[in-house]
Structure 1
Amino acid sequence: MRKKFDVTTEQTETASEALSQASGLSRQRIKDAMNKGACWWTVKGKQVRLRRATKELKAGTRLQLYYDESVLGRKPEAATLVADNHRYSVWFKPHGLLAQGSQWGDHCSLLRWVELELKRPCFLVHRLDADAAGLMLIAHDPKAAGALSQCFAGRTMTKHYLAKVTGVIDVQDQLIDTPVDGKAAISRASTRSTDDNAATSLLQVTIETGRKHQIRKHLESLGHPIVGDRLYGKPARVPLQLLAISLELDCPLSRQRVKLELPEALNSIVSWPNPQ
């Protein structure tokens, strides 16, 4: 079942009462959906998630419930705290975990995971494909979020990735500057190792820009799509073998050069299977 319910309360009542009556869903299902971020209301002119099912609402309050059983039934993969610098924290996002949620829910997102783990305000600074894994920063106040976001937008952040690609390729610091969606995009790739038997190569990729699916598109343009890339490669029963391993930046908060690296224990590349 996937359906949007748009409800305006006619009297003072709780959110779960209004939504249950309008949707025909039980209050327990409504409570679960609200807790997972599928309900929205307007506060001071801005749409925000409403999670508390027992919230008493005045007549004339508008609610929107985005109910999708398949989304709400998913279980989030566990994220791991790498470092906590108070104003921002560094996390390992596993394959399959979203950076942030959608209108249909956010319980399977890193942003919500961190909110629940640290019990602090959380702000998304940058994104990483749901299919990819690796390091992500989460800010914990608006000023930190704005300052760190500028590092990503202003190209003062250096981002390093590992990617296992199909085919054997031997390159060192190869520039790939094919535009992505009509915008300038710059990546550099170097071979770390090759596997002739599996016909795969392990590349380190550094990007100077952060276009959507930039690495995936750039490696596909070389004729070596990433293993497990369902969009730009061949279908495979393995996860997208792309891993964000380090970030380097002139931190606008500490005024120091900072290098953040994925701990070896979280380097999931060692468990990446070969394509089937």
Structure 2
Amino acid sequence: MQRGKKRRAPQTQADKSKSYPVTEPMELLPFLLQNISGAGRNVVKSILAHGQVSVSGKSTTAYNYQLQPGQTVTVGKDRPQEKLPLEGLAILFEDEHIIVIKKESGLLSISSDSAPENEVTAYRQLTAHVRLENSKNRIFVVHRLDRDTSGVMMFAKSEAVQQQLQNSWQDTVQERIYVALVEGAVKKEKGTISSWLKESKTLKMYSSSYPNDGLHAVTHYKVLRSNKSFSLLEVQLETGRKNQIRVHMEDIGHPVVGDKKYGAKSRTIGRLGLHARVLAFTHPVTGKLVRFETDIPKLFLRPFHAAEGVEN
């Protein structure tokens, strides 16, 4: 650890609280590298990570924050209030319009009527996160993932952006790909499931046997790996209905692992075998295509690594 007088140029600049005008659209990290003279990439990333950078008065640690002409980037000595630790989620992307996260299985997206009043949710944590910068900041739900489903999801940072995304969801979202670990060997390498979904009085979704009776749901799948007991599927949603994948997997006789509600008998991985792997969409403000892809959870591969007949 260095002690005494700080001689490094970037640190000195940070201590003097310098401001830099933004003249063209670009991401924050390359902007800082371009403007803080003599600073290496690691030094700049450290300054950013320690909360010493603000954009037009709002602190941010997002290296990919999208800057626009007219804004001012300030590198200062003072750090804002420490960021809150996030439980069960990681922020993949954040700008002034949206937040994209990777949610873990077991975390509620937003509080439900049946959940305890003080239960930790993604919504509650992200609200606290954005209010560190401004106590009036809010976030808005765009779509949800079931509690036991992990993966990529997005929140808006204004009601206008929320409405824009929800009203144009089918056109805005270019890819929405899941991986599903299901029971049994799915014999057909590729397939499409189409049905009309309804909700029972017990809040369970099901496929109606009558055309046009409910909400139309279309799911495409292909087999990635398979053995006699399990199949790993890549699942692409053409529509985004409540519990759509879970219902459709039950419909074809291959319920999602751990999904007792929809017919599963196996809990071999100790969680629901469903993960939202890819979300690609047109940014509601910049108009650019943004894509977020996460790894297949290692637990989903365990049944294929184990020796035949060995219990996981």
Larger Rg: 2
- Uncovered stretches (5+) of structure 2, i.e. residues with no partner: 1-85, 132-136, 199-213, 304-310
TM-score (structure 2 length as normaliser): 0.58
Q: Distance in 1 between matches of 2:153 and 2:97?
A: 14
CA distance in 2, matches of 1:240, 1:218: 15
Of all paired residues, the percent bearing the same amino acid is 29
Looking at structure 1, the residues matched to 281 and 90 of structure 2 have their Cα atoms a distance apart, in angstroms, of: 21
1:246 and 2:261 are equivalent in the alignment:
no
Q: 2:163 maps to what in 1?
A: 146
Structure 2 counterpart of 1:183, which letter?
L
Q: How big is the shift at 1:251?
A: 2.4
Q: 1:169, 1:102 → 2: CA distance?
A: 34
Deviation at 1:161, TM superposition (A): 0.1
- The code of the aligned residue for 1:249 comes to F
User: Matched residue of 2:215: which SS?
Assistant: coil
Q: CA deviation at 1:116?
A: 2.0
Write out per-residue CA displacement over residues 44-74 of structure 1, whole angstroms, 9 at most, x where no aligned residue: xxxxxxxxxxxxxxxxxxxxxxxxxxxxxxx
Task: Give the aligned partner of residue 234 of structure 2.
Answer: 204
TM-score normalised by L of structure 1: 0.65
- CA offsets 1:52-106 (integer angstroms, 9 cap, x no match): xxxxxxxxxxxxxxxxxxxxxxxx9521111112210111111111111135425
1:86 aligns with 2:86: no
Q: 1:118 to 1:195 in 2, by over 3 A?
A: farther
Q: Which amino acid aligns with 1:162?
A: V
Do the aligned partners of 1:187 and 1:207 also contact (CA within 8 Å) in 2?
yes
Check 1:96–1:77 CA distance in 2 against 1; reply closer, same or farther (3 A cut): farther
Q: Distance in 1 between matches of 2:140 and 2:221?
A: 31
Partner SS for 1:259: strand
C-alpha spacing 1:252/1:173, structure 2 compared with 1 (3 Å): farther
Distance 2:128 2:179 in 1: 29
Displacement of 1:107 after TM fit? 3.5
Deviations 1:155-195 (A, max 9, x none): 54231000000001143441110211121101100001113
Alignment of 1:118-197 (within 5 A): 118-119=130-131, 120-152=137-169, 154=170, 156-157=172-173, 158-181=175-198, 182-196=214-228
Unpaired runs of at least 5, structure 1: 1-75
Amino acid at match of 2:299: S
Shift of 1:145: 1.1
**How big is the shift at 1:235?**
4.2
**CA distance 1:111–1:211, shift in 2 (3 Å):** same
Whether the aligned pair in 1 keeps the contact of 2:91 and 2:101 (CA below 8 Å) is yes
